[in-house]
């Protein structure tokens, strides 16, 4: 009896170790991460660039959000913007930040600009978290994990430059070399996103309005936020109930079934509907966009490259 | 063609069950027991696994602390605070209630707010300055101002923490007054309460009350003297609340009444 128990735990330990190694450390192709980099880059460029219009109004002299006054609400977080308040300084630093984000989006010096892009984006967020929305936590999470991976290997200026230099590249097979860092980054996005969506579901079932089917009503009834007015749906309360229940069910089921290859395409398709519908009624389009972009982490690189036939793998000297 | 086939096989490992790899192992390569190919040595994998454990632990603490955290969760969050907050992985407790839909968790009480500032010297007929300014484009700019108004309103609604409630009204009101060279004005936060689904039928019959259910949740007089900003909140019980300069957090510089501060009034 005791021997069986010991055997069981030995098999458990061995199986867990092998599974852990297989899950995190089997090298893979960074094509999906490259696509995520491109899309996330465009979103963060948009967010950063639009902040330019109100930079002085928020952070300038006599701005609405003086760093020292709102410090108790921001917490002990780092932002280089905390040290700046003069318009010229703010403009200069913000434009440099914009240049970094554009370089990251187009994939130029990607390994360096990814880290710098994270610093720029987190500085924007940490300077005044009260003007952020749902989008920033998702974008920050994706940016953080992209720092680990060679996300400039495809869809990037780095790839284009490497293609031009191909004859001089010592190791032409480098382009096809799978990367362990790519696997770790992909897995981290997958696990983190699954956790977030699970908590979205759990927090909803903790709330009465999502139990009784009126959760979506309270989202669509907010006149200042919504993108389109769909309050006319009050005539079909069962439709609102169904919409609410589908979202809760999706958020509870997604973290479990997304790991099943057969269910994954279906869940990703439903996800587009769910995030799109939430964007429609909350008006937060960038949030829906970021959820869809982060969900790309569940799409295999071969599927992705099948959709982008013209993109060929090329050597990148600084790829992991 | 062979290269492409080999690449396709390797890239699918992250997304599909693992297949056999035909590439010969070098001295740092090892097998995971199923014939799958890993390139990192056991020592490197151990170190990486430790870092992954630590990071995922912090992430799980940050994510699960979002709603109704237990005492243990709070303590653990404090442990990971510096890490998760600087990386914006946490919604608790500073970011919340700003990002009220961080996890798209709507409540009937999560209403939209607007801030209004009436400058006294502008005359009684002057239109108040409203945040968010209507018609702001691109849309994300409007949403930033809306988030600011919502944060102001949510904090202002919390009658238990008068110091925190006054931080944003003081900052916003002071900014508006300074930029217009004005000495004082009235700052209001208005909540737009949401209509019940059952009330919507009356909207069609001409009764717009459910759609126009506004209420002032915070009112204060803001004074500017030099660089200093003073705010006097009006109590909801129609009595004068103490100046918030007395109740502010310790890391905010103390404010003093400007020389021409009028006596508080009952309204």
ipTM computed for the complex? 0.90
β-bridge partners, B228: B225
d(CA A3, CA B1): 52
Q: Which of B6, B104, B175, B189 to mutate to test the interface with A (most CBs of A within 10 A)?
A: B104
Mean pLDDT for A30-39 is 94
- Looking at mean pLDDT, say which of A165-179, B7-21, B75-89 comes out highest: B75-89
Question: In this predicted structure, what is the pLDDT of residue B235?
Answer: 65
Query: Of A134, A114, A136, A135, which Cα lies nearest the Cα of A126?
Result: A136
Query: Of A92, A129, A194, which Cα lies nearest the Cα of B91?
Result: A129
Q: Residue B258 pLDDT more than 50?
A: no
B126 touches chain A (CB under 8 A): no
A237/B94 Cβ within 8 A: no
Residue pLDDT, tens place only, B207-249: 555 566 788 888 888 998 888 888 888 765 444 444 444 333 3
d(CA A157, CA A153): 9
Contact A119, A159 (CB under 8 A): no
Query: Of A153, A206, A193, which Cα lies nearest the Cα of A176?
Result: A153
Residues 6 or more apart whose CB falls under 8 angstroms from that of A138 comprise: A193, A196, A287, A290, A291, A294
> Closest chain A residue to B252 measured between Cα atoms?
A69
Residue pLDDT, tens place only, A110-151: 999 999 999 999 999 999 888 988 899 999 999 999 999 999
A26/B32 Cβ within 8 A: yes
Chain A residues touching B13 at Cβ < 8 A? 26-28, 178, 183
**What number of residues does chain A have?**
320
Residues 13-52 in B contacting A (C-alpha not used; CB under 8 Å)? 13-18, 32-34, 36-40, 45, 48-49, 52
Residues 178-207 in B contacting A (C-alpha not used; CB under 8 Å)? 178-179, 192, 194-195, 197, 200-201
B14/A26 Cβ within 8 A: yes
A76 touches chain B (CB under 8 A): yes
Q: Residue B25 pLDDT more than 70?
A: no
Which range, of A198-202, B47-51, B156-160, B192-196, averages the lowest pLDDT?
B156-160
> Closest chain B residue to A62 measured between Cα atoms?
B175
Mean pLDDT for B14-39 is 50
Residue pLDDT, tens place only, A76-101: 789 999 898 899 999 999 999 999 99
**Whole-structure pTM over 0.90, yes or no?**
no
B83 touches chain A (CB under 8 A): no
Q: Residue B136 pLDDT more than 90?
A: no
A302/B38 Cβ within 8 A: no
Q: First and final CA of chain A: distance in angstroms?
A: 49
A78 touches chain B (CB under 8 A): yes
CA distance B237 to chain A (A): 27
């Amino acid at each position: 009896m005791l021997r069986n128990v010991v055997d069981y735990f030995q098999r458990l330990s061995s199986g867990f170790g092998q599974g852990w190694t297989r899950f995190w450390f089997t090298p893979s192709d960074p094509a999906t991460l490259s696509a995520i980099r491109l899309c996330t880059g465009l979103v963060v460029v948009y967010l950063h660039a639009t902040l330019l219009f109100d930079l002085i109004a928020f952070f300038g002299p006599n701005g609405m959000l003086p760093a020292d006054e709102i410090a108790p609400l921001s917490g002990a977080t780092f932002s280089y913007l905390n040290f700046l308040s003069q318009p010229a300084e703010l403009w200069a630093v913000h434009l440099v930040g914009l240049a970094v984000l554009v370089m990251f989006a187009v994939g130029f010096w990607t390994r360096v600009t990814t880290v710098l892009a994270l610093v720029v984006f987190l500085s924007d967020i940490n300077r005044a978290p009260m003007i952020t929305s749902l989008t920033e936590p998702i974008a920050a999470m994706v940016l953080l994990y992209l720092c680990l991976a060679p996300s400039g290997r495809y869809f990037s200026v780095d790839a284009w430059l490497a293609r031009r230099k191909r004859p001089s590249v010592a190791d032409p097979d480098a382009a096809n070399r799978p990367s362990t860092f790519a696997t770790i980054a992909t897995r981290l996005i997958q696990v983190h996103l699954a956790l977030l969506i699970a908590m979205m579901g759990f927090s909803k079932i903790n709330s009465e309005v999502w139990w009784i089917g009126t959760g979506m009503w309270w989202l669509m009834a907010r006149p200042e936020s919504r993108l389109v007015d769909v309050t006319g749906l009050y005539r079909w309360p069962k439709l609102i109930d169904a919409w609410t229940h589908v979202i809760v069910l999706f958020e509870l089921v997604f973290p479990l079934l997304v790991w099943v290859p057969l269910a994954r395409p279906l869940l990703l398709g439903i996800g587009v509907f769910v995030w799109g519908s939430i964007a429609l009624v909350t008006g937060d389009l960038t949030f829906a966009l970021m959820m869809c972009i982060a969900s790309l982490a569940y799409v295999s690189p071969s599927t992705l490259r099948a959709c982008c036939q013209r993109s060929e793998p090329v050597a990148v000297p600084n790829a992991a | 063609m062979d290269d492409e086939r080999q690449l396709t096989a390797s890239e699918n490992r992250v997304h599909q069950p693992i297949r056999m790899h035909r590439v010969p192992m070098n001295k740092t390569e090892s097998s995971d027991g199923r014939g799958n190919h890993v390139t990192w040595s056991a020592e490197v994998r151990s170190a990486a696994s430790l870092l992954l454990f630590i990071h995922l632990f912090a992430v799980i603490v940050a994510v699960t602390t979002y709603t109704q955290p237990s005492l243990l969760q709070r303590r653990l969050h404090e442990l990971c605070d510096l890490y998760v907050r600087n990386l914006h992985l946490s919604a608790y407790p500073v970011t919340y209630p700003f990002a009220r839909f961080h996890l798209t968790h709507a409540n009937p009480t999560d209403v939209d707010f607007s801030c209004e500032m009436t400058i006294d010297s502008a005359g009684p007929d002057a239109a108040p300055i409203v945040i968010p300014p209507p018609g702001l484009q691109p849309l994300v700019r409007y949403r930033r101002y809306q988030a600011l108004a919502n944060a102001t309103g949510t904090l202002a609604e919390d009658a238990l923490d008068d110091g925190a409630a006054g931080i944003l009204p003081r900052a916003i009101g002071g900014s508006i007054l300074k930029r217009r060279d004005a000495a004082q004005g009235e700052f209001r936060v208005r909540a737009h309460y949401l209509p019940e689904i059952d009330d919507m039928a009356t909207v069609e019959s001409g009764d717009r009350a459910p759609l126009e259910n506004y209420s002032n949740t915070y009112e204060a007089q803001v004074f500017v003297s030099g660089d200093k900003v003073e705010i006097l909140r009006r109590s909801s019980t129609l009595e004068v609340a103490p100046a918030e300069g007395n109740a502010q957090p310790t890391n905010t510089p103390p404010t003093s009444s400007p020389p021409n501060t009028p006596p508080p009034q009952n309204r």
